[in-house]
């Protein structure tokens, strides 16, 4: 099965916030990485995506799990510039590293396009070997997310993924709460 | 007692959103007016102040109560420009009229200063005769707000205010959730 | 219009809890009375009906509003005897007076039948003149309830009811959360 | 380290509900077992312990995880008899197997005493080899519980426990929400 697992695309970043040294997926090998893609004007991101990411950041050891925010703006570009994001992170007390997704040729920023994200919030889990293991658009229950992260922590650093026991399902709430890229109708799980 | 009740200061507004014709407190005489002062980057405004204002807007008849938003920016000015506010109102589906508080000489915008607001969210109730009757900084329980509004609706359009039966108390949560003007320590009720 | 308003049926009570002297609607004339009919094994009563009643009890002055609980058991009779109710009130810290609705000839207790209640939770508001003014089966938003109570407080003690400005609507949630008497399909408002 | 891990005490049960055949920890070897000890009149059990157990029951595969309720009554004994419990489980739609903890010589029922539980709700996790691995009194965040369960699922069926990466902490809320055995002051984690 492991033949299907691909290395996660590199993050294409215009600017990092909350960091002294810019992180990279390559240098994070050995840890589980959780990417929370969001927009500061996306209600579902503000009400549950970002609080959940902050909770993961507090709950798990930094030796095992690295949480990264990814500001992937695909609408209202001029209403969400990096200096507004900075104030937003300050007011919402978000302390983990946040990358500003690099602008693309069209409306979609580059990392968002490379990952095939349908909208925000999108949560991506990358295993200790740097491979993308799951991607959720919309709301993920804490119980399911805790189980998914631990399944990746539990894996030895080899190529054999453990079967996932938690049945991860897309939430029907996120169609309402999340912001989908035009043309994408429903929230879902890769 | 009515001798102490003063006409609410006029709104000093740089720009109106969600309106065809700019409202004024003068022309709103005869209705109860609720002003929700907020900032788009204030977490307490986003999580409860604005949803509560939207609830009032839906619950009470427009013949009795007019809800007005007031974007009173006193921090992160360049992160919350009117064009960002417009996108914010769209994403959060806020349909009642919203005024951009006119910039003042210092950090405080003019209407905010004229009302002596301590921060955001601040909720102001104005009676049918145009007099400011209560002003709350921070969270107000729905049960209390419903009672306060109805007490003002119930008043005949004369000068005799009814005694308020609901004991309105400042919430201890709003010190955390609200944004206070520098130097103001606690949420409170005028 | 007042010709249609009828005196609320008297409470038929097997036993009172949390009282030194049994209250009666007659002796409560002059106050607004809120009756919260519930069952201790009704999930919607436990999660929102009773907490809301406790909130009303704390928010309004006892000179204006009297909150009364009414344990109206119409199912699982032997699972909810008065001695279990006593332990329940203790654990849930319910301090307002609670009446045990008197058993009727069929499954329905007497007061529940006299008021034509469809199930639990049911909230009844009685005006200062002892007349039933509204009856809700299921969830009532706090904003609406605060307004309804204040409208009754605001009435002078004469026979002219004020028009209700809050548009009280039955909640679609209470069909799920409430317990309806067999044959009653939906929550509603009298 | 495994030398310290002991086989979980057997369940001492007066009666099973929601089962066709009484389960036993012995016969459940090979699965992770989660025991939710509760009382039907314990507010914290009703508001979060039991809903969380129901969520675990729905989220994880029955091949990996078995959820068991344990009705451990140590107060208000005559207010919570098995026939009341039956009605309670019906109204709250709890479908997983529930054991009535066998009465002991004192106030504490036998299984509760054997596990050294401090009160309700208490959550116990037992690994695939039948060993008690964690015991929490009070509220456990979903994120932490999901991780703990998955850590046990991930273990091969041998004697080497994996290190727990989630830092499980006792919640300060559960002192309020949970019911502690007399003399026990705070919620905690074994």
Nearest residue to B65 (alpha-carbon basis) of B123, B150, B138: B150
Nearest to B165 among C61, C143, C165 (CB): C61
Print pLDDT tens along chain C (190 aa): 445 789 999 999 999 999 999 999 999 999 999 999 999 999 999 999 999 999 999 999 999 999 999 999 998 888 888 899 999 999 999 999 999 999 999 889 999 999 999 999 999 999 999 999 999 999 999 999 999 999 999 997 554 454 443 433 333 222 344 677 754 444 444 4
For chain C, the C-alpha Rg in angstroms (whole number) is 15
Residue D83 lies in a domain: yes
The verdict on a CB contact (< 8 Å) between B55 and C141 is yes
CATH number of the domain enclosing B102: 3.40.30.10
Long-range own/partner contacts, residues D2-5 (CB < 8 A, 24 or more apart): D2/D159, D2/D160, D2/D161, D5/D127, D5/D131, D5/D132, D5/D133, D5/D159, D5/D161
Chains A and C touch (3+ CB pairs under 8 A): no
| Residue with the two structure tokens 């959720």 | A136
Residue D86 lies in a domain: yes
Smallest CA–CA distance, residue D189 to chain A, in Å, is 15
Smallest CA–CA distance, residue C136 to chain B, in Å, is 16
Residue D32 pairs in a beta bridge with D65
Residue B189 lies in a domain: no
Q: Per the structure block, which two tokens stand in for C42?
A: 């009704």
Residue D151 lies in a domain: yes
Smallest CA–CA distance, residue B15 to chain C, in Å, is 30
Q: Are A109 and A74 in contact (CB under 8 A)?
A: yes
Residue C189 lies in a domain: no
Summarised one tens digit per residue, pLDDT across range D122-160 is 999 999 999 999 999 999 999 999 999 999 999 975 544
Q: Tell me the whole-structure pTM to 2 decimals.
A: 0.85
For chain D, how many structural domains are there in total?
1
Residue C188 lies in a domain: no
- Could you give the CA distance from residue C150 to residue C163 in angstroms, rounded to a whole number? 12
Best mutation target, D91, D121, D180, to test chain C (most C CBs within 10 A): D91
The verdict on a CB contact (< 8 Å) between C42 and D91 is yes
The verdict on a CB contact (< 8 Å) between D64 and A165 is yes
Measured between its terminal Cα atoms, the distance across chain C in Å is 16
Higher pLDDT, C150 or B188: C150
Best mutation target, A79, A178, A180, to test chain B (most B CBs within 10 A): A79
Other Cβ atoms closer than 10 A to B190: 14
Summarised one tens digit per residue, pLDDT across range A22-64 is 999 999 999 999 999 999 999 999 999 999 999 999 999 999 9
Contact list, B59 vs chain C (CB under 8 Å):
141, 143-144, 147, 166-167
> What is the reported pLDDT for B107?
87
Residue-range definition of the domain harbouring residue D31: 2-19+27-180
Contact list, B64 vs chain C (CB under 8 Å):
165
Summarised one tens digit per residue, pLDDT across range A146-176 is 999 999 999 975 544 544 434 333 332 223 4
- Could you give the CA distance from residue A59 to residue C177 in angstroms, rounded to a whole number? 33
Reported as half-sphere exposure (CB side, CA atoms, 13 A), residue A112 has a value of 31
Nearest CA in chain C to D86: C79
Residues of D with CB under 8 A from a CB of C: 41-43, 46-47, 75-76, 78-80, 83-84, 86-88, 90-92, 179
Neighbors of chain B with 3 or more C-beta pairs under 8 Å: A, C
Nearest residue to C96 (alpha-carbon basis) of C131, C70, C63, C128: C70
Task: List CB contacts of D33: < 8 A, sequence separation 6 or more.
Answer: D8, D25, D65, D66, D67, D68, D124, D125, D126
Q: Tell me if residue D154 falls in helix, strand or coil.
A: helix
Nearest to A165 among D52, D141, D153 (CB): D153
Q: B13-41 burial, b for 16+ CB within 10 Å, e for fewer? A: beebbeeeeebebeebeebbbbbbbbbbb
**Where does residue A168 rank: exposed (0-12), middle (13-18), buried (19+ CB within 10 A)?**
middle
- The mean pLDDT value of chain D amounts to 86
Q: Are D134 and D125 in contact (CB under 8 A)?
A: yes
Element containing residue D125 per DSSP (H, E): strand D122-126
Any idea how long chain A is?
190
> What is the reported pLDDT for D12?
98
Nearest to A146 among D64, D145, D162 (CB): D145
Q: Are A177 and A44 in contact (CB under 8 A)?
A: yes
Smallest CA–CA distance, residue A56 to chain B, in Å, is 20
ipTM over 0.90: no
Residue C185 lies in a domain: no
Residue D139 lies in a domain: yes
- Could you give the CA distance from residue B164 to residue A12 in angstroms, rounded to a whole number? 59
Smallest CA–CA distance, residue B82 to chain C, in Å, is 31
DSSP B26: T
- Could you give the CA distance from residue C32 to residue C133 in angstroms, rounded to a whole number? 10
- Could you give the CA distance from residue B111 to residue B105 in angstroms, rounded to a whole number? 12
């Amino acid at each position: 099965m492991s033949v299907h697992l691909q290395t996660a695309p590199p993050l294409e970043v215009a600017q990092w916030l909350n960091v002294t040294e810019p992180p990279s997926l390559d240098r994070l090998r050995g840890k589980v990485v959780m990417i929370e893609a969001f927009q500061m004007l996306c209600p579902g991101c503000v009400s549950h995506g970002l609080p959940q990411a902050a909770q993961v950041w507090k709950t798990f050891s930094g030796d095992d799990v690295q949480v990264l925010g990814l500001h992937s703006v695909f609408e209202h570009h001029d209403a969400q510039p990096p200096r507004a994001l900075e104030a937003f992170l300050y007011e919402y007390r978000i302390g983990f590293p946040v990358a500003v997704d690099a602008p693309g040729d069209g409306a979609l920023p580059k990392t968002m396009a490379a990952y095939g994200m349908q909208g925000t919030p999108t949560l991506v889990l990358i295993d200790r070997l740097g491979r993308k293991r799951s991607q959720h658009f919309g709301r993920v229950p804490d119980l399911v997310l805790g189980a998914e992260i631990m399944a990746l922590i539990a894996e030895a650093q080899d190529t054999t993924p453990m079967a996932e026991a938690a049945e991860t399902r897309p939430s029907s709430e996120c169609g309402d709460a999340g912001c989908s890229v035009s043309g994408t109708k429903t929230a879902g799980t890769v």
